Amino acid sequence: MPIKNAMVLAAGLGTRLRPITNTIPKPLVRIAGKPMIDYVLDAIEGAGVETAAVNVHHFADQMEAHLKDRRRPRIVISDERASLMNSGGGLAKGLKLLADGPVLVMNADLFWVGEKRGVPSNLERLASFFDAETMDMALLCVRNEDTTGHNGKLDFSLDPQGRLYRYREGMQNPVVYAGAIALHSRLFADAPEEPFNLNIYFDKAIERGRLFGIVLEGHWLTVGTPEAIGEAEEAIRRFQTGA
């Protein structure tokens, strides 16, 4: 069953992307002629999402203007103009705008290219893999060699059953968190109302043996600095042309 609701985390300041983000929010920075957030919204639309909450803070008016004409998925704004809520607090606040149930969560500035046609997409695979009875969260992960723009940091070790553990030197099957999650909204029913980092919930899930992951198919892009824009555009060109 496809997951019908999504939360897109789009409120960050994009400080490493300055001076570009001195006048524009990071999710609206164009990569190969397309705003980063549109890569994300197109991906969740393709996975069957009907409604997406998007949080806004930095140049919030620009974000709202860009999103107002989007029909699929339907956009609801989680307004963080008054107070930036960090990744966990922003997610918890945005989930209150969506119906209870399974939700896909994505960062607005992380996306991928090179998915194969005619087979389930990465987000469709993630939604099918997620089991709320046995998992707190399922994360989309990527092998370091399949990334562009990443600093090389390894986040997790993925065991043969799909469980994730914090990576330590020498662990097998290291992966990078690719910025997409499947979860049930009830996980955040008792979340604090102040800002907090989503990593707290990752660690709680690991302690319970309930953090799982799958590996992304394709090539993952992160654009953290102005110099990384050209690298991302070259990767997109390479996968579009098959070069």
Sheet of 219-222: strands edge to edge? 110-113, 219-222, 147-148
Q: Per-residue confidence at 107, pLDDT binned at 50, 70, 90?
A: very high
Spatial contact of 126 and 180, defined as CB atoms under 8 Å apart: yes
pLDDT above 70 covers a percentage of the chain that reads 99
CATH code for residues 5-241: 3.90.550.10
CA atoms of 209 and 211, how far apart (whole Å): 6
Average pLDDT, the chain: 95
Q: Is the pLDDT of residue 127 over 90?
A: yes
Q: Is the CB of residue 174 less than 8 Å from the CB of residue 119?
A: no
- Whether the link from the prior residue into 19 is cis, omega within 30° of 0, is yes
Distance CA 3, CA 66 (A): 24
Cβ pair 5, 52 in contact under 8 A: yes
CA-to-CA distance for 48 and 85, rounded, in angstroms? 28
CA distance 77 to 204: 28
Enumerate the domain spans of the chain. Answer: 5-241
Q: How confident is the model over 131-160, as pLDDT tens digits?
A: 999 999 999 999 999 999 998 899 999 999
